[in-house]
């Protein structure tokens, strides 16, 4: 499944880049490729356009497919398709796997932002393009990254063409013609504020080194802390063991042991090899891992409040170093009930 998702991510990223390159005019009156395909599938733009113009733009009807898929499969778009999500994941893989600084819960900002964007759209101020992940990526690539890449190539060719040797000249000329025909811009593009937009974009990507995130980290983004945790959960076959007694609907064996990891993965969470497992397991492992009396629990060491959480018989702890995850919920004073809410939230998300 992980390979399938990575293949899917690679495919859509390459498709996105191909369409991006094909956006360049070639002299004919039409471009020849559906270059705005990704934007057509963008529900945020669909909604914002609908609210601000009071019209149903036909092209955007495609985004209903994404909405439908999200209702069934969760945030499939983020984890399987979104090119910015893929880039985020790639950068996230570079992250040092030691410790994560404790971060305040900034992630609710995205809901405020979403509401703001939609409400402002309703009053005809359409700002979705500023934050929409696809718009952000297209803007950053076309105004910043692509000109920079071109500059690198063209500067190299400037130097190579200075070499006064006919044998080299033919190779250089051939290479230039090929690249010019395929990936390079027809002429070196420059844009005012291109450097600023590039830095902003690199900054967004670099945030993955601090904490992995999906999409642009706002709006439709998957909650990063969830992503991390869910990614870890995925590695643990007996997911049902994590669920509290009488907890949620996820308790049923089918959902818990099979569909939940599947769905979590569909949501775009990169499983991480060798990452610490969630605190909930750490606690269980501290209790010996094999048999613990039902209903008893351990006190969260760092949290303000005392929270009991249950241990389950037969659970094998998989983390040799339980203290490696300082961002555990209990440190924020929410403890297990916080996690429980989160689990419920994820579960509810499946059916939205």
Chain residues binding another protein by CB under 8 A are 25-28, 157-158, 161, 173, 176-177, 180, 186
User: For residues 158 and 273, which CB has a smaller minimum distance to another protein in the complex?
Assistant: 158
User: For residues 164 and 321, which CB has a smaller minimum distance to another protein in the complex?
Assistant: 164
User: For residues 106 and 161, which CB has a smaller minimum distance to another protein in the complex?
Assistant: 161
State the residue for tokens 């013609």: 177
SS3 labels along 196-208: HHHHHHHHHHHHH
To another protein, the closest distance from the beta carbon of 174 in angstroms equals 11
To another protein, the closest distance from the beta carbon of 269 in angstroms equals 44
User: For residues 177 and 291, which CB has a smaller minimum distance to another protein in the complex?
Assistant: 177
Give the whole-angstrom CA distance, residue 240 versus residue 168. Answer: 65
SS3 labels along 173-229: HHHHHHHHHHCCCCCCCCCCCHHHHHHHHHHHHHHHHHCCCCCCCCCCCCCHHHHHH
User: For residues 99 and 156, which CB has a smaller minimum distance to another protein in the complex?
Assistant: 156
Give the whole-angstrom CA distance, residue 206 versus residue 219. Answer: 18
To another protein, the closest distance from the beta carbon of 185 in angstroms equals 11
Contacts of 280 (CB under 8 A, 6+ apart): 242, 309, 336, 339
Contacts of 180 (CB under 8 A, 6+ apart): 186
Contacts of 128 (CB under 8 A, 6+ apart): 44, 45, 47, 48, 49, 117, 121, 135
User: For residues 177 and 341, which CB has a smaller minimum distance to another protein in the complex?
Assistant: 177
Residue 332 burial by Cβ neighbours in a 10 Å radius (0-12, 13-18, 19+): middle
User: For residues 188 and 252, which CB has a smaller minimum distance to another protein in the complex?
Assistant: 188
Q: What angle do CA 266, 324, 225 make, to 5 degrees?
A: 35
Give the whole-angstrom CA distance, residue 184 versus residue 180. Answer: 5
Contact 138, 130 (CB under 8 A): no
To another protein, the closest distance from the beta carbon of 170 in angstroms equals 11
User: For residues 28 and 123, which CB has a smaller minimum distance to another protein in the complex?
Assistant: 28
User: For residues 21 and 69, which CB has a smaller minimum distance to another protein in the complex?
Assistant: 21
To another protein, the closest distance from the beta carbon of 166 in angstroms equals 9
To another protein, the closest distance from the beta carbon of 38 in angstroms equals 24
Contacts of 13 (CB under 8 A, 6+ apart): 83, 86, 87
To another protein, the closest distance from the beta carbon of 34 in angstroms equals 20
To another protein, the closest distance from the beta carbon of 165 in angstroms equals 13
To another protein, the closest distance from the beta carbon of 143 in angstroms equals 20
Structure-block tokens of residue 218: 């706002």
Give the whole-angstrom CA distance, residue 82 versus residue 217. Answer: 13
User: For residues 98 and 166, which CB has a smaller minimum distance to another protein in the complex?
Assistant: 166
296: DSSP letter: -
To another protein, the closest distance from the beta carbon of 36 in angstroms equals 20
């Amino acid at each position: 499944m992980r390979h399938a998702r990575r293949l899917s991510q690679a495919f859509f990223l390459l498709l996105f880049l191909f369409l991006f390159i094909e956006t360049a005019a070639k002299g004919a009156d039409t471009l020849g490729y559906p270059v705005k395909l990704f934007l057509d599938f963008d529900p945020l733009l669909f909604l914002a356009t609908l609210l601000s113009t009071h019209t149903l733009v036909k092209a955007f009807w495609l985004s209903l497919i994404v909405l439908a898929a999200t209702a069934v499969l969760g945030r499939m778009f983020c984890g399987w398709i979104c090119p910015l999500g893929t880039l985020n994941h790639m950068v996230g893989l570079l992250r040092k796997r030691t410790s994560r600084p404790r971060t305040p819960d900034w992630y609710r900002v995205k809901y405020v932002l979403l509401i703001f964007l939609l409400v402002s759209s309703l009053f005809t101020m359409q700002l979705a393009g500023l934050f929409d992940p696809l718009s952000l990526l297209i803007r950053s690539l076309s105004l910043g990254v692509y000109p920079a890449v071109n500059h690198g190539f063209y500067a190299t060719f400037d130097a190579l063409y200075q070499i006064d040797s006919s044998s080299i000249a033919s190779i250089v000329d051939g290479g230039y013609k090929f690249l010019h025909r395929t990936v390079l811009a027809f002429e070196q593009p420059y844009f005012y504020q291109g450097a600023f937009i590039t830095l902003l974009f690199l900054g967004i990507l670099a945030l993955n080194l601090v904490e992995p995130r999906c999409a642009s980290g706002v709006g439709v983004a998957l909650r990063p802390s969830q992503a991390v945790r869910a990614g870890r959960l995925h590695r643990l076959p007996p997911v049902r063991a994590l669920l509290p007694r009488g907890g949620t609907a996820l308790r049923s064996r089918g959902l818990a042991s099979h569909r939940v990891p599947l769905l979590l993965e569909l949501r775009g969470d990169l499983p991480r090899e060798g990452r610490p497992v969630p605190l909930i397991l750490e606690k269980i492992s501290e209790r010996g891992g094999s048999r613990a009396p039902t209903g008893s629990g351990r006190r969260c060491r760092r949290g303000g409040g005392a929270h009991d959480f249950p241990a389950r018989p037969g659970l094998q702890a998989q983390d040799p170093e339980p203290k490696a995850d300082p961002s555990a919920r209990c440190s924020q004073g929410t403890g297990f009930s916080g996690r429980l809410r989160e689990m419920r939230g994820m579960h509810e998300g499946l059916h939205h």
